[in-house]
Amino acid sequence: MLDSAMAALASLADPSLLLMLLIGTVAGLVMGLIPGLGGTGAVAILLPITFGMEPPQALALLIGALAVVHTSDTVSAVLLGAPGSASASVTMLDGYAMAKKGKAARALTLAFLSSMAGGIIGAIGLTLAIPLARPLVLSFASPELFMLTVLGVALAAVLSRGNIIKGVSAGLLGLVLGMVGTSPTTAEERFTFGSLFLGDGLSLVAVALGIFGLAEIASRASQRRGQKENITLGGGWGQGIREWLSHWTQVIRGALIGIWAGVLPGVGATAGTWLAYGQAVATAKDKRKFGKGDPRGIVGPESANNSVEAGDLIPTLLFGIPGGVPSAMLLGMLLTYGIQPGPSIITEHLDLMYLIVWSFAIASILGALFCFLSVKQLAKLTKVPFAVLAAGLVAVMLLGSFQEGGQLGDLWVMIILGVFGWLLKSTGFPRAPFLIGFVLAIPLERYYFLTDSLYNGLDWMARPGVLVFLAILVLPILWAFIKFIRARRNTNLDDGHRNERPEDDESPLKNSVWSLTAAGIFAVAFAAALISSASFSPEARLVPQLVSIGGLVFSGILLFTEIRTRLRARTASTGWTLDAGFAMKTFLWMTAFLALTAAFGYLIAVTVFIPAFLLIVARARLKVAIIYTAALYVVLLALPSLLPIDLPQGWLNTLV
């Protein structure tokens, strides 16, 4: 193992590998500043660029971005009081308070150094997990691997923020969508409806960018104003370093909490940073300073948010269970390269695992260094109105989705799922279980049939590992149901005085007609899948039918709950808001852009769409629109000669 670790470190001397790591780090820092993108957007946008690369270069690029997104999202939280991500909102409590006292440089120093240390400690945790888990992983057979895939979807659904019924429904629908295409057991086509395009299944990049990327743009595109700069950096860099060293115990505790939060599927950086902040408050002798500029309120959460991503890689690489959306996409990339997480990656690709470790640690150091050197320039990006950024993001995301399959159909799928993703976000459905279910659908089915062919009946369920995983699966579900029942009782006893949780702010259309519509869509989708699967062969329809039946049960519960809520409501609420209307208009703009691309080609579509969107939607000045469009056009024109990227050609271009 030491030889593999040293070989991985030596491979980073390769200029191409080091260049990819640097590009990924810089891209991650920039995307960390853009609200709503974070690790999900960084991996999703960079993933198409990896097609055609060798696995080491691809991993260096993605890991470099993933390791630093939580380093730069602190800049806007401290300087502007507007966090770049949900996890950075924890740092904002004390960081922004410190900045308003003229100590912004001190706060940023604490944040950057803590993020760097959290990334390094997370990489060490991943390193230690390899030899510790190696004997366990190598003892796994198909029954344990099957249970792990089930566990990954179930825990992501149960432990995600929000209603457990909604989480399980989203995970099951993701499984159904992941089964579109060729069956892994019988090689027959399923849910394709005779379409050659659907025969290969849906693109992971299109699904991820639609559910998360376009949905986020539609939710935030109404923000036409940038943040006003009212904080100056000042001095205090040296004081921040000394203060950070005096709180080294908080750094270690926060990083360890982050690793644990990353190992648990569905918990993520937001919960991990709140847990780290909570322990900092709980262990402090003087708690009154928190929220008023206490350095411990910065050090703990910032140490946790970077280590979460490293901790997330432990179940992803060793057990094939992605704990979050970025790791789910990373898992999908590994599978496309024929690299199977679990026993095979330890025996056949151990050098790649150590490459990930080294890349994560080095990127964490580089990210902190870049932030120190360019914090003034990074802060300027946070003052750009999101509507202005949205124009370029739409163009980049649609181009990225095209790269995997080279078909415009992927772009239409992406927009449709973007609308669906916006509906999920607005009505309180967790989206992480959906994507995790999509990624794990084929491995789950493959391991199930392999288990069924090797064992008689249910004998495989008596294996010790399977029993342990069953216990891990059942206990959180029971606990979540108990919490759900208690919450319902408290709601009935104290009607109208319920304390909303932080995540409810992300669901503006919860308990509206939109929520009822979402539940209806789930029920119809599961019913259609159940009916369509009846025409498949017995082996090909078994798992889709089981998933569809389970989905019908949970979506039926959702429908019943929503209808009962409507009947009990004193006034009818359409749920149509200005934000909802603006989101739908944004999707119409995206559709128009795609129609232009299909007809005239990508470059012409960009030339028309970008200035029109900037002038009409973002209400930018004409000069800004011209410069923005010209710069993007030049970059896109040069991109195919620099990277393995193809620009979509329009229908009229093919006729010429």
Spatial distance between the Cα atoms of 37 and 85, rounded to a whole number of angstroms = 8
Residues 471-478: what's their mean pLDDT?
78
User: If you count them, how many residues does the chain have?
Assistant: 656
- Tell the residue number behind the tokens 């991996």, with chain if given: 43
Asked if residue 551 has pLDDT above 90, the reply is yes
Residues 38-43: what's their mean pLDDT?
73
Name residues whose C-beta falls within 8 Å of residue 84's C-beta, 6 or more positions apart in sequence: 32, 33, 34, 35, 38, 72, 73, 74, 75, 76, 77, 382
pLDDT at 587: 93
Q: Which residues pair with 190 in a beta bridge?
A: 181
With cut-offs at 50, 70 and 90, classify the pLDDT of residue 499.
very low
pLDDT at 495: 42
With cut-offs at 50, 70 and 90, classify the pLDDT of residue 605.
very high
Residues 15-19: what's their mean pLDDT?
87
Q: What H or E segment, with its residue span, contains residue 189?
A: strand 189-190
With cut-offs at 50, 70 and 90, classify the pLDDT of residue 505.
very low
* Model confidence, pTM: 0.79
Contact between 314 and 260 under an 8 Å Cβ cutoff? The reply is no
- Tell the residue number behind the tokens 């369509």, with chain if given: 532
Q: What percent of the chain has pLDDT over 70?
A: 85
Top pLDDT among 481 and 337 is at: 337
Residues 209-237: what's their mean pLDDT?
69
Residues 95-108: what's their mean pLDDT?
82
Contact between 157 and 170 under an 8 Å Cβ cutoff? The reply is yes
Top pLDDT among 279 and 610 is at: 610
**Continuous H helices in 406-500:** 408-426, 432-454, 464-493
The string of DSSP letters for 36-97 reads TTHHHHHHHHHGGGGTTS-HHHHHHHHHHHHTTHHHHHHHHHHHTS--SSTTHHHHHHHHHH
pLDDT tens for each residue of 158-210? 766 567 888 889 999 999 999 998 888 888 889 988 888 888 888 888 888 88
pLDDT at 496: 39
Residues 331-344: what's their mean pLDDT?
81
Q: How high does pLDDT run on average in the chain?
A: 81
Highest mean pLDDT among 7-21, 214-228, 267-281, 379-393: 7-21
pLDDT tens for each residue of 371-393? 888 777 766 666 778 788 888 88
